[in-house]
Amino acid sequence: MNKPIDIVFMGTPDFAVPALKKLGGSGRSVSLVVTQPDRPKGRGRKVQPPPVKKAALTLGYDVSQPGSMREPAFLDRLAGIRPDIIVVIAYGRILPKSLLDLPRFGCINIHGSLLPRYRGPAPIQWAVINGETETGVTAMQMNEGLDTGDILLTAKTPILPDDTAGTLHDRLAEMGATLLLETIDRIETGRIRPVPQDPDLATYAPLLRKTDGHIDWSRDAEAIDHLVRGMDPWPGTFTFLEDKRLKIFKVRTVPNDPSDSGAAPGTVIRSFPGELRVAAGSGVISVLELQGASGKRLTVQDFLRGCPIPPGTILT
């Protein structure tokens, strides 16, 4: 009987947790889980472990949290394990070549995109922001480049009209877990054919900043809807009512009333009671959920009861 392959798992955020749990449930040998160090988080800045560490300890795995991929003690530990495969999912660090070359089957990455499109750290968010209708997950043989390795397998899913980056994240995380097991199965049995990426098709998905969420009302309504959904749950979108910042959580596009077609972008236009309609560069946005500077997240009906916003008001 062949010896089962030995796996080292590297990951940090929630996106990697379903794959780790699925590996654990499959009975495969996971010798070590590597994740980022515990860090302060939230308003209280309390030091917290990353989600992968919590899951790994629950599953009974050994955990390593090196401050650097080049720490001698960490590299010695991996060399002693001599894993057959290193699985990397949203770990958050570039792996040195010495590490990439260590396992006999190399390092396998699960990326939340259909490579080579949306290489980089925020592929799910940018796919929604850019109005894509389809995305997926890719199993990739890692090399020294940024998401440039050969493609092993992919799985696709449509981006639904109500999808946010959050809902898509959760769906892709589960898909990635399933794809990982299939990839390992095929590697073990020699039924996989790596396919080089076409660099001419490559795009990049950079990290988002909080300032990216400032709504530009001169854009068309559909683009604003994509932005709000792509920035949910983080970093979120916002606009200003005079000097007050309003967080915008949910919107939808609505037909443009011809009588308001000349309204400047950002102008609050006439609407039914309990509605907040805003003129965009092209089309109209109806705001459904929002939050004032010091309040809580409310439906637009509840918000307007305490803070009416009359037609003609300009949001910036």
Q: Could you list the pLDDT tens digit for every one of the 316 residues in the chain? A: 467 799 999 999 999 999 999 999 998 999 999 999 999 987 788 999 999 999 999 999 999 999 998 899 999 999 999 999 999 999 988 899 989 999 999 999 999 999 999 999 999 999 999 999 999 999 999 999 999 999 999 999 999 999 999 999 999 999 999 999 999 999 999 999 999 999 999 999 999 999 999 999 999 999 999 999 999 999 999 999 999 999 999 999 998 776 666 899 999 998 889 999 999 999 999 999 999 987 899 999 999 999 999 999 999 9
pLDDT at site 265: 96
pLDDT at site 4: 78
Is there a binding annotation on residue 315?
no
Q: In this structure, what token pair is assigned to residue 5?
A: 């392959």
For residues 35 and 65, the answer to whether their CB atoms sit within 8 Å is: yes
Is there a binding annotation on residue 116?
yes
For residues 38 and 50, the answer to whether their CB atoms sit within 8 Å is: yes
Tokens 């899951």 appear where? 55
Q: Per-domain residue ranges for the chain?
A: 6-201, 221-314
For residues 41 and 50, the answer to whether their CB atoms sit within 8 Å is: no
Tokens 């990739």 appear where? 140
pLDDT at site 260: 66
CB-based contacts of 145, cutoff 8 Å, min separation 6: none
CB-based contacts of 257, cutoff 8 Å, min separation 6: 269, 270, 284
Is there a binding annotation on residue 114?
yes
Query: Which of 5, 10, 19, 51 is closest to 142 using CA atoms?
Result: 10
For residues 279 and 224, the answer to whether their CB atoms sit within 8 Å is: no
pLDDT at site 1: 47
Superfamily of domain 6-201: Formyl transferase, N-terminal domain (3.40.50.170)
Tokens 């980056």 appear where? 165
Superfamily of domain 221-314: Formyl transferase, C-terminal domain (3.10.25.10)
What whole-number distance in Å separates Cα of residue 184 and Cα of residue 177?
11
What whole-number distance in Å separates Cα of residue 100 and Cα of residue 108?
9
pTM (two decimals): 0.94
Is there a binding annotation on residue 102?
no
Q: In this structure, what token pair is assigned to residue 68?
A: 């650097």
pLDDT at site 295: 81
Tokens 């509840």 appear where? 302
HEC-encoded secondary structure of the chain: CCCCCEEEEEECCHHHHHHHHHHHHCCCEEEEEECCCCEEECCCCEEECCHHHHHHHHHCCCEECCCCCCCHHHHHHHHHHCCCEEEEECCCCCCCHHHHCCCCCCEEEEECCCCCCCECCCHHHHHHHCCCCEEEEEEEECCCCCCCCCEEEEEEEECCCCCCHHHHHHHHHHHHHHHHHHHHHHHHCCCCCCECCCHHHCCECCCCCHHHHECCCCCEHHHHHHHHHHCCCCCCEEEEECCEEEEEEEEEEECCCHHHCCCCCCEEECCCCCCCEEECCECEEEEEEEECCCCCCEEHHHHHHHCCCCCCCEEC
Tokens 């639904």 appear where? 160
